[in-house]
Amino acid sequence: MENLTIAFIGSGNIASSMIGGLIANGIKPEKLIAADADKTQQQLISEKYGIRVFNVNYDAAKHADVIIFAVKPQVMPTVVKEIAENIKIENKLIVSVAAGVKLQSIANWLDQSSAIVRTMPNMPALIQAGASALYANEFTNDKQRNTAETIMRSVGAAIWLDAEEQMDVVTALSGSGPAYFFYFMELMEKNAIEMGLNKEDAHLLTIETALGAAKMALLSSYEPTTLRKQVSSPGGTTEQALNIFIQGKLDKLIRNAMDAAKRRSVELSKSFKD
């Protein structure tokens, strides 16, 4: 891994977080390069991480063993084709973090037999606390899979999927998931203020409660169901609150929300078919 050169095509938030995570995990800046059409972003990334940044995508890609496409999904066809037309992709590992873009679409745009890994990081990757899922095509060997996993672990947890179709579920779960928790926290804080707490105290208690619950779930050997029951004493305040959630069919509301996110992910994937 330390001997590989990694090129980021696009240097926005996700790419920047991955670059920072790789450097924090011991990858030398000279082994990382990037390309970005925005000169301001070029300068920002170069100064922040001390890496080479190119104006032309294929100039960065031709120097790399691993090419990471971190551009918006709608520009992926143009960007991938441009690189494939100017350099040989053979023996290079292709990693895509573009939401909704399937492996077959990328393979068609490359028009070369290539090892391709599709991954879905989420917003907390920006602070190296992300959750990513990966899926590789048939041309990806074990060494390349390990490389892709190591890259994604630099910004958080990473798992492999059994089927590419599961990426739509991941989108609905961890991809969109941070927004669900932010919304729940937003409502808790708002209600606490309306019930009499000042904004600063309501915000702090909301954030620390969310953090503590997540940390307990992470470190405990118990499932969330057991942890919930441990907090819910019979006849107590927590039980009363949870009864309201149950009566309001929160479980069905969450399922409907995740189904909607999954359906939209499927729709977006279909829009990128050749």
In a domain, 1, yes or no: no
Last residue of a domain, one of 169, 192, 224: 169
Distance CA 49, CA 27 (A): 11
Structure confidence at residue 270 (pLDDT)? 84
Please indicate, yes or no, whether residues 24 and 111 belong to a single structural domain of this protein.
yes
Please indicate, yes or no, whether residues 181 and 73 belong to a single structural domain of this protein.
no
- pTM assigned to the model: 0.90
Please indicate, yes or no, whether residues 246 and 114 belong to a single structural domain of this protein.
no
Please indicate, yes or no, whether residues 27 and 149 belong to a single structural domain of this protein.
yes
Structure confidence at residue 94 (pLDDT)? 97
Please indicate, yes or no, whether residues 69 and 89 belong to a single structural domain of this protein.
yes
Distance CA 238, CA 68 (A): 46
In a domain, 273, yes or no: no
Q: Which residues of the chain have pLDDT under 50?
A: none
CATH number at residue 64: 3.40.50.720
In a domain, 274, yes or no: no
In a domain, 255, yes or no: yes
The structure tokens 């924090």 sit at 24
Burial 175-195 (b: 16+ CB within 10 A, else e): bbbeeeeeeeeeebbeebbee
Give the CA distances from residue 204 to residues 188, 192, 193, 199, 212, in Å, rounded to whole numbers and listed in that order. Answer: 11, 11, 12, 9, 12
Structure confidence at residue 113 (pLDDT)? 85
Question: What distance lies between CA 129 and its chain's CA centroid?
Answer: 10
Residue 27's SS3 state is coil
Please indicate, yes or no, whether residues 16 and 120 belong to a single structural domain of this protein.
yes
Instruction: Count other C-beta atoms under 10 Å from residue 86's C-beta.
Output: 13
**What residue type is assigned to position 65 of the chain?**
D
Last residue of a domain, one of 110, 135, 169: 169
Angle subtended at Cα 168 by Cα 166 and Cα 173, rounded to the nearest 5 degrees: 95
Q: What percent of the chain has pLDDT over 90?
A: 89
**Domains identified in the chain, total number:** 2
Reading the block at residue 118, the tokens are 């599709």
DSSP β-ladder status, 156-160 and 93-96: unpaired
Structure confidence at residue 130 (pLDDT)? 94
Please indicate, yes or no, whether residues 96 and 194 belong to a single structural domain of this protein.
no
Please indicate, yes or no, whether residues 124 and 228 belong to a single structural domain of this protein.
no
| pLDDT tens figures, 213-261 | 999 999 999 999 999 999 999 999 999 999 999 999 999 999 999 999 9
Range of the domain at 234: 175-268
Please indicate, yes or no, whether residues 62 and 127 belong to a single structural domain of this protein.
yes
Instruction: Count other C-beta atoms under 10 Å from residue 209's C-beta.
Output: 12
CATH number at residue 211: 1.10.3730.10
Structure confidence at residue 273 (pLDDT)? 61
Please indicate, yes or no, whether residues 247 and 144 belong to a single structural domain of this protein.
no
Please indicate, yes or no, whether residues 120 and 25 belong to a single structural domain of this protein.
yes
Last residue of a domain, one of 169, 187, 220: 169
Please indicate, yes or no, whether residues 62 and 112 belong to a single structural domain of this protein.
yes
Q: Which residues contact 255 (CB under 8 A, 6 or more apart)?
A: none
Helix (H) or strand (E) holding 35: strand 32-35
